[in-house]
Amino acid sequence: MDSSEFLEFLTTRSSVREYESTPITEEEIDYILSCASTAPSAGNLESWDVVVVKDEDVRLCLSEAAFSQPHIEQAPVIFVVCANYVRSMSRYGERGILYAVQDTSIACTYMMLAAHALGLHSCWTGAFEDDEVRSVLELPQHIRPVALLAIGRGHPPTGRTSRMTAGEHVHNEIW
């Protein structure tokens, strides 16, 4: 893939919030997880974990925890991508909290892009009640759910979402 193909790959992804019930295969799940495992991480500690949820009843509970967002119930699989604080704090102390969240965000981004590479659709979902997700999935206290990544075959919106220009983000040399 050359650099213009890479940009094209990125710009053809968009968040999808309507899904068919067609399941995701185990091979597709394995591919997505293998891609996430290549992500960089602070100290190479990989301070993230993921709960792969396919069960319909659990997806319904997760959807309720996510303020009843329907795509969480609809998508055939939800990757609940979590920060593992103990793994990073054991080396980095307080700073490890930030590193674990960064590690988790990168891993989740790789999963989202891996799904795109497979021709699947996804929606990164950050609006949810932490404690409800914790309770549904029986997460230990040192594990923080960071994102519910819905993946499936869906119906992409027509037209791309707009973006700020790159320049609006950039400050040269000093703020």
Ligand X SMILES: Cc1cc2nc3c(=O)[nH]c(=O)nc-3n(C[C@H](O)[C@H](O)[C@H](O)COP(=O)(O)O)c2cc1C
* β-strand partners of 15: 122
Q: Nearest-CB residue to ligand X?
A: 126
CA distance 22 to 138: 27
Euclidean distance between CA atoms 86 and 172, whole angstroms: 37
DSSP characters over 63-123: HHHTTT-HHHHHSSEEEEEEEEHHHHHHHHTTHHHHHHHHHHHHHHHHHHHHHHHTT-EEE
- Residue 170 to residue 172: CA distance in whole angstroms: 6
- Choose which of 17, 59, 87, 121 interacts with ligand X (CB under 6 A): 17
- Binding marks (x or -) toward ligand X, 55..94, rule CB under 6 A? --------------x-------------------------
Distance CA 152, CA 172 (A): 40
3-state secondary structure of 142: coil
Q: Kindly state whether residue 127 participates in binding ligand X, applying the rule CB under 6 A.
A: yes
Q: Of residues 161, 164, 171, 174, which one binds ligand X by CB under 6 A?
A: 161
Size of the site for ligand X (CB under 6 A): 10
Question: Candidates 10-18, 36-44, 75-83, 96-104 — which segment interacts with ligand X by CB under 6 A?
Answer: 10-18
As measured in angstroms, the least distance from the Cβ of 91 to ligand X is: 26
Candidates 24-32, 121-129, 132-140, 167-175; binding stretch for ligand X (CB under 6 A): 121-129
Give the interface with ligand X as residue ranges (CB under 6 A): 14-15, 17, 69, 123-127, 161
